[in-house]
Structure 1
Amino acid sequence: MDRHDVQELSERIDVLLDEVQRRADPKLAAQVEELVRAVLTLHGAGLGQLLSLLDEPQVRQLAGDDLVAGLLLLHDLHPDDIATRIQHALDSVRPYLGSHAGGIDYLGIDDDGVVHLRLQGSCDGCPGSTATVRLTVENAVLDAAPEAIAVDVDGMVKDKQNLLTIEPFRPHRDGWHQLDLAPPLGQVQHRTVGGLDVLLANLAGTLFAYRNNCPACSSALHHARLDGDRLTCPRCTAEYDVRLAGRALTPAEGPPLEALPLLPEGSGWKVAIPGVQPA
């Protein structure tokens, strides 16, 4: 069980309570709701008392556990406030924001629970499509701040609209897959994840994921040479910057690698696989 399971259990409780309110006698429904609230209050008070007996490093260590973090968030006991958690989440997705990587600002969360962000720079060089960036930012922010219900990202769409609104729903987990293995430092490997051939690159301990396909010649890249951040296709010698969202280096105006959203998950990583794969 992890903190996602905690969140799902919490949402399941809400669903069951709604069902009781619709079907049960009003007096009984009120008693059931009071019972659930009392149990949660008791557990939250006990957890808060436990934290009060620990010093800050110990609390931080506990908060680093995925399951415990979920419980702390559920009871509003997490040592980091929402702004800090969202900033950490944004830092984790910067490698997938292309030309926006140096400037993504957290503007705050409003009274309705909507998180407001602003992307700096143009959309040139963004990894893959707007949908890829959207999925990455959405999942990272709502993962870090389950109390939020939606995300507004200003600056994501160019020449079409000024504001891209991420609809208020929790990210669906079926598109995310756990990565149990990672390539050694300075190397690339490929894995079949969710039916997709995925290229993984390990740059000094930071993992990057791309579709295992060279945009210039359509050949696989798992035998490509990785020199620092530079990946060279073994067939057509096209070169890409792995750290900077797969941007094409040679030829300079070539299409980038297709980046796949990749986020830390406990002690490992998880990667998002598109639901429909291009032919």
Structure 2
Amino acid sequence: MEDRPEERDDAAVQETGSVESARWREAGERIESLLDASSAGGAVARERAEQLVREVADLYGAALARVLQLVDGHAVDLLARDDLVASLLLVHGLHPHDVQTRVLAALDSVRPYLGSHGGDVELVGVVDGIVRLEFRGSCRTCPSSSVTLELAVEDAIHAAAPEVEAIEIVAAQQDSTSSLISADSLFARVHAHEPHSGSWIAVPELAELQSGEVGGFAVSGISILACRVGDDLFAYRDHCPACEKSLAGAAVQRRVGFPVGDAVLRCPTCLAHFDVVHAGARVDGDGHLEPLPVLVRSGELSVAVPVGVRG
């Protein structure tokens, strides 16, 4: 069946964006470095350089506004889905979607990973630049889900809505704990127990995995195991908590009597079984694998690697 024209357009834009995003990702830092270099010529030179940047930015802002007036709604949505174009639209206050719509889209992008932890996140509201979220299920109490909040949810929200000033976590109604916990406070509790840092690493090779296939990858010096279940990708550190051995050679299996989509990973050394879809929880004993978030960032499949944190 032949692809529809709009589908071909979407694919072409995504491919072009992926190629160009690497070039422009650090554009802001390069501009700032050039401005700093101009300071060598004195305060007047710096002021003129800044004025030049403002004039060019205003010119391109006016051109972007004209483009949005000339194209139809589908084209506007297509432009807004491109990371580079969306960032320029945000800078000039031209993004077609309001903050709440963009935050909702950001949460949708991380919801599959939260679901792998047996949890979910809901937007309570956006007021005066503050995003209020409610986590449900095990995300509210699991330490590794706290890391997920920092590496996935916060990152996705700030990428989609950089004007957001703060993210606050509202306790679920059934909880008797305090009604409002700031994201900084939550992160501070996690950091106090075990300091960590983390970063997103592009691993485009993940896209080559077929459903039911398991692959090993070296990401930022860490060995990980990734597998695809249906259309969803899951990644874990290559470490069996039962026997302390590598999971190299592990295979994904469906348990007898379980529905389609069930997937367990069997350690080839000790034969312990882990639920791939639900945060790597062991199904025949205690413990679980250490999950790592997998998201599409700047058009590339990327893995969040928290250093020094065990879920």
TM-score normalised by the chain length of structure 2: 0.70
**TM-superposition CA deviations, 1:174-215 (whole Å, max 9, x none):** 721101212222211010010000111112222211111122
CA distance in 2, matches of 1:179, 1:84: 28
Segment of structure 1 superposing worse, 8-17 or 138-147: 8-17
Shift of 1:274: 2.2
Question: Retained in 2: the 8 A contact 1:96–1:259?
Answer: no
Structure-to-structure mapping, 1:61-76, within 5 angstroms: 61-76=78-93
What is the aligned-residue identity percentage?
39
Aligned to 2:73: 56
Conserved in 2, the CA contact under 8 Å of 1:98 and 1:125?
no
User: Aligned to 2:307, what secondary structure does the other structure show?
Assistant: coil
What amino acid does structure 1 have at the position aligned with 2:271? T
Report the equivalent of 2:237. Answer: 211
- Assess if the C-alpha contact under 8 Å between 1:99 and 1:122 holds in 2: no
Is 1:166 matched up with 2:200? no
Alpha-carbon distance between aligned partners in 2 of 1:18 and 1:216, rounded to the nearest angstrom: 54
Q: Is 2:273 aligned against 1:239?
A: yes
Structure 1 equivalent of residue 150 of structure 2: 134
Q: What letter matches 1:42 in structure 2?
A: L
2:288 corresponds to which letter in structure 1? P
CA distance in 2 between counterparts of 1:267 and 1:8 reads 15
Task: Say which of 182, 193, 217 aligns to 2:219.
Answer: 193
What 5-or-longer segments of structure 1 have no aligned partner? none
User: Which structure: greater helix fraction?
Assistant: 2
User: What whole-Å deviation, never above 9, does each CA across 1:230-266 have from its counterpart, x for those lacking one?
Assistant: 2222233322222222223222xx2221111221124
C-alpha separation between the residues in 2 aligned to 1:217 and 1:145?
A: 44
C-alpha distance in structure 2 between counterparts of 1:15 and 1:155, whole Å: 43
Instruction: Describe the SS at the equivalent of 1:106.
Output: strand
When structure 1 is superposed on structure 2, of 81-90 and 158-167 the one drifting more is 158-167
Cα deviation for residue 115 of structure 1 reads: 2.1
Partner of residue 199 from structure 2, selected from 175, 179, 192: 175
Question: What CA distance in whole angstroms lies between the structure 1 residues aligned with 2:178 and 2:242?
Answer: 28
Aligned mate of 1:270, from 296, 302, 306: 302
- Report the Cα offset of residue 221 of structure 1: 2.3
Superposition RMSD in Å:
3.8
Amino acid at match of 2:200: W
Between the aligned partners of 2:113 and 2:143, the Cα distance in structure 1 is 6
Farther off after superposition, 222-231 or 45-54: 222-231
Equivalent residue pairs, number = 269
Q: Structure 2 unaligned runs (5+)?
A: 1-18, 188-196, 255-261
Give the aligned partner of residue 61 of structure 2.
44
* 1:220 alignment counterpart: 246
